[in-house]
């Protein structure tokens, strides 16, 4: 069997498959279904400084080849995550885990990352900068290179652990923002987050979800994700984690050929709870079919 091992920001993974934040809870829920130690790692539920109830319901809607969600970062806040959620996870998962962090100000990001960085079992901090900048009139940090760099630098000052900045695809020049993050001290880039989407109920003539618009994810966005991963991987020298519509072993290989070192799987987990396990088990077959002996050989092979 070919080698599935990869190195993400200095930490070895048994394979490149990572359940994406927001689709895998805090992990222990899925451990009731299968042994989650088969995963490379996973990114746990987005965590903020303070508890968040999230957006009003309904906040999830199905659509062709995907879904729209506006959950709104529902989580119990970083203190409860550390005190209550992570101990339950570490009973069933015995590898470094990826913490996903969101915030509404630079100070929020720095505080939450510093708290999570002190947890020994956390290997990486995945910093989601698609959230509104409350001090900048509601603009997302991830849509502006200077704002993205400011968050990155602030997090860099409070941790020595690898920082992976998660970028929004709702921008004009994704590579420019990725380079700004790299320059400010990021160890990696993950992308893409959801696209902005909307559905309308034809009977009520109103938006399907209460928030009107939400994040569009699922297999429909895969070509956009591959394109952006390719652009960023060719613009920076740090590792890229690719995601967006990944649902098969072939999708993982395609993302890696575009330049991804590791690949996150999101919406597929909500359709099939064993999606990540199934992809990992199928990777050797797909590698053999395409003459791949070692996954590291194909990272960024497409030029």
Check pLDDT > 70 for residue 162.
Answer: yes
- Cβ–Cβ < 8 Å for 8, 256: no
In a domain, 303, yes or no: no
In a domain, 188, yes or no: yes
Judged by average pLDDT, the poorest of 34-43, 50-59, 217-226, 284-293 is 50-59
Which range of residues forms the domain containing residue 26? 6-54+73-196+217-298
Mean pLDDT of the chain: 95
In a domain, 142, yes or no: yes
Average pLDDT value for residue range 73-79 = 95
* 134-160 pLDDT tens trace: 677 666 899 999 999 999 999 999 999
What percent of the chain has a predicted confidence (pLDDT) above 90? Answer: 92
* 242-270 pLDDT tens trace: 999 999 999 999 999 999 999 999 999 99
In a domain, 256, yes or no: yes
What CATH number is attached to the domain comprising 32? 3.20.20.70
In a domain, 190, yes or no: yes
Name the pLDDT band for 81 (thresholds 50, 70, 90). very high
Average pLDDT value for residue range 45-72 = 92
Check pLDDT > 80 for residue 128.
Answer: yes
In a domain, 137, yes or no: yes
Number of domains in the chain: 1
Q: Model pTM?
A: 0.96
In a domain, 126, yes or no: yes
pLDDT value of residue 2? 78
In a domain, 60, yes or no: no
Catalytic positions, please?
131
Name the pLDDT band for 224 (thresholds 50, 70, 90). very high
pLDDT value of residue 142? 92
Q: What are the Cα distances from residue 218, in Å, to 168, 224, 261? A: 15, 11, 21
Average pLDDT value for residue range 75-92 = 98
pLDDT value of residue 137? 63
Judged by average pLDDT, the poorest of 133-147, 179-193, 289-303 is 133-147
């Amino acid at each position: 069997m070919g080698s599935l091992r990869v190195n993400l920001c200095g930490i070895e993974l048994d394979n490149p498959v990572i359940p994406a934040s927001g689709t895998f809870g805090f992990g222990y829920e899925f451990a009731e279904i299968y042994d989650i130690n088969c995963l490379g790692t996973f990114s746990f539920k987005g965590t903020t400084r303070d508890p968040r109830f999230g957006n009003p319901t309904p906040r999830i809607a199905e659509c062709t080849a995907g879904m729209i969600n506006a959950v709104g970062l529902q989580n119990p806040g970083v203190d409860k995550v550390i005190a209550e959620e992570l101990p339950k996870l570490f009973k069933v998962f015995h590898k470094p885990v990826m913490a996903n962090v969101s915030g509404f100000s630079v100070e929020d990001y720095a505080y939450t990352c510093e708290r999570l960085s002190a947890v020994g079992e956390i290997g990486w901090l995945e910093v989601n900068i698609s959230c509104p900048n409350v001090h900048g009139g509601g603009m997302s940090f991830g849509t502006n290179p200077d704002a993205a760099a400011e968050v990155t630098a602030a997090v860099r000052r409070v941790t020595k652990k690898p920082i992976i900045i998660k970028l929004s695809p709702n921008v004009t020049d994704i590579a420019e923002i990725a380079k700004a993050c790299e320059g400010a001290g990021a160890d990696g880039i993950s992308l893409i987050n959801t696209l902005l989407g909307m559905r309308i109920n034809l009977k009520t003539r109103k938006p399907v979800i209460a928030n009107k618009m939400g994040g569009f994810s699922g297999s429909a966005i895969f070509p956009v994700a591959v394109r952006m991963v390719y652009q960023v991987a060719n613009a920076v020298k740090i590792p890229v984690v690719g995601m967006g519509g990944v649902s098969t072993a072939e999708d993982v290989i395609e993302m890696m050929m575009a330049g991804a070192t590791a690949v996150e799987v999101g919406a597929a987990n909500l359709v099939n709870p064993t999606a990540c396990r199934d992809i990992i088990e199928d990777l050797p077959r797909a590698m053999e079919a395409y003459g791949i002996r070692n996954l590291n050989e194909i990272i960024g092979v497409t030029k």
